[in-house]
Amino acid sequence: MKNLHRPIYHLMPQTNWMNDPNGPVYYNGEYHLFYQYNPFGNKWGSIHWGHASSSDMVHWRHWPIALSPSPELGEEHCFSGCTVVNQGVPTVIYTSIGDGDRNALTGAQQWLAQSHDNMLTFVKSSANPIMTSELHGNMKITDWRDPFVFQDREAWFMVLGGMHNTHGCALLYRSDDLFTWQFMRILLEAPGETWECPNFFPLGDRYVLVYSPVGPVSYYVGTWQEDFSFVPSQSGLVDHSGMQGYYATNVFVDQEGRTIMWAWIPENARGDFNPECPYAGIQALPRVITLGYDDRLRMHPLPELTSLRNHHWQQQAVVLSSKEICSDIHGKALEILVKARCRAKSAVLYLRVLRSHDQNEETIIKYDFSQHEITIDRSNSSLSDLPHAFNLSAKLIEYTDTLTLHVFIDHCVIEVFANYQESITTCVYPLSSDSVHVSMSASEGAMIDLESFDVWDMQQI
C-alpha cells in the first residue's frame, strides 16, 4: 500500500514532505531546482530547501539540503524564494520565518545566501535581513513572502506577495546590488486571500503576473509602464485545480529562451485517506509558457518529456460511438494524446483511465463539445470514500469543434491539457491493483471523428 500511488516520472524526494518549487536556475551546464522540504517527516514543518539538478529537466539527481533554518539567528523556516546568478555567483533570496516577532503573519524577513562551491552549499549573508517590512513605512503589509527577482532596465527588481487592507497583493521593489532595496509600489491587488508565490516576467512585449491566491493559480497579462505601474489587459487561470493539484508556481527562462513554469502538486485530494506512505507532495511536470494572439497564456508540456516514452499503442482514425474502444490499453504511468473533431452540435468524448477490470474504479476525463468544457470526474476514482471525489472542470474560452487532449497519468497524478489553453491537475487514489485500464467512447448519437489516439507507457526517472 505504501508505494501503490507513488509517481515514477514526476520529481519528488524519496521520503518526507515537499511543497513549493524554489529558485529554478541554469548554472554551469545544469538545471537546478530547489523545493520546500521537511527532512523530519511527511507533514509540513521545519521548512528547508531541498535540491535537485538535471541536464534535461526530466531526469533528476538529488543533492544534500541546500538551505537549513538557523535557530541561533532566530530562524525556524526557510520559506520560498528565488535563485539568480549575480556576476557569476549563485544567489538565493528567500523569506525567513521565526517565532514571536518573526512570525509569518507580521514578522517575515527577506534573507540572502550565496554559493561558492557549484551550488552544493549556500552561506547566509552577514547583511541579513536584506529587507524588513519597515520598508513600507506606515503601510501595513501582512503575510509578506516568496520573493521573485529579475533584471530589467539596468536594475534588479523583486516582486513579493502579501495582504494589504484585506486585499491580496503583489509588491514591487528595486535594487542595484541585491542587498539594498527600495519599495516602489503595489504592483496589483484585489479583494480576497493573500497572494502567494507571485511571478512577474515578460512574454514578447507584454508582462505576465502569476500568483497563487490560496486557490487556482491566476494570471494577468498587461504592460509594465515607465512609471513601474502594471496595467493588465487580460486575465485567466493557469490551472483550474488549485490546492486539489496545482499551486505555488515558479518561472524561469531556460538556455533555449523558453519560459518554463514549475508548480507543486499538493495532495489535499487525499482528504482523510491515509495510505501510510512516507512522502507527501509532488512537483508538476514542467510547462513551456507562451502567449496566444488573444493575450492569454498557452501551456505545453516540456517537449523533452518525450524521452520517457516507451511502449506505444496507436488507434487508427475511427468514428467514436458509445461503444468503447482501446480497452486493451493499460498502465499506471502513461502519456495519452487525443486529436478529435466533432460533427454534431451535441457530443461528449469520454476517456476512462485507471479503471479496474470490474469497472468499480475509474477516473473519467470528458470533453463536452457543446459546452466546450473539460472535466475530470473523480466520483469513482477510488473504492475508498475518504479521498476527495468532486469534479474539476474548465471551460475553453476559444470555442472550436476540434480537440487536442494531452494527458499524463502517473499512478496518483493526472495532468490534463485541453487544446493547450486550459489545464487541470489533480491526484486520485484507486485501491484495486488492476485499476490500470484505459478506454475511449462517445455519448449516444455523437458524431466524433477520432483522428488519432496515441498512448505511451512512460519510463521511470
Distance of CA 456 to the CA centre of its chain: 23
Q: Is residue 142 part of a domain?
A: yes
2 confidence band (pLDDT: 50, 70, 90): low
Q: Is residue 4 part of a domain?
A: no
Percent of the chain with pLDDT over 90: 92
Q: Is residue 8 part of a domain?
A: no
* Whether residue 331 sits in one domain with residue 285: no
How does pLDDT run across 210-268, given as a tens digit for each residue?
Answer: 999 999 999 999 999 999 999 999 999 999 999 999 999 999 999 999 999 999 999 99
pLDDT score at 400: 84
What is the rounded CA–CA span in Å between residue 371 and residue 208? 28
* Whether residue 281 sits in one domain with residue 364: no
What is the rounded CA–CA span in Å between residue 123 and residue 128? 11
pTM recorded for the entire structure: 0.96
CATH code for the domain in which residue 342 is found: 2.60.120.560
Secondary structure (H, E, C), 304-356: HHHHHEEEEEEECCEEECCCCECCCCECCEEEEEEEEEECCCCCEEEEEEEEC
Grid cell listed for 381: 476514482
Asked if 295 and 206 touch (Cβ cutoff 8 Å), the reply is yes
- The domain of 377 spans 308-458
pLDDT score at 191: 95
* Whether residue 392 sits in one domain with residue 256: no
Residue 148 has pLDDT above 90, yes or no: yes
Q: How many residues does the chain have?
A: 461
Residue 1 has pLDDT above 60, yes or no: no
35-44: average pLDDT: 96
53 confidence band (pLDDT: 50, 70, 90): very high
Q: Based on the structure, what is the number of domains in the chain? A: 2
How does pLDDT run across 306-316, given as a tens digit for each residue?
Answer: 999 999 999 88
Distance of CA 207 to the CA centre of its chain: 19
Residue 275 has pLDDT above 80, yes or no: no
- To the nearest whole number, what is the mean pLDDT of the chain? 96
Name which of 53, 57, 107, 97 is nearest 75 in CA terms: 97
Q: Is residue 55 part of a domain?
A: yes
327 confidence band (pLDDT: 50, 70, 90): confident
* Whether residue 432 sits in one domain with residue 314: yes
Residue 158 has pLDDT above 70, yes or no: yes
Q: Is residue 2 part of a domain?
A: no
* Whether residue 254 sits in one domain with residue 165: yes
pLDDT score at 49: 98
267-284: average pLDDT: 91
Name which of 45, 60, 10 is nearest 301 in CA terms: 10
Residue 164 has pLDDT above 80, yes or no: yes
What is the rounded CA–CA span in Å between residue 19 and residue 6? 16
Torsion of Cα atoms, 315 then 318 then 320 then 322, to 10°: -80
Domain boundary among 281, 301, 321: 301
* Whether residue 217 sits in one domain with residue 238: yes
Q: Is residue 195 part of a domain?
A: yes
Distance of CA 218 to the CA centre of its chain: 12
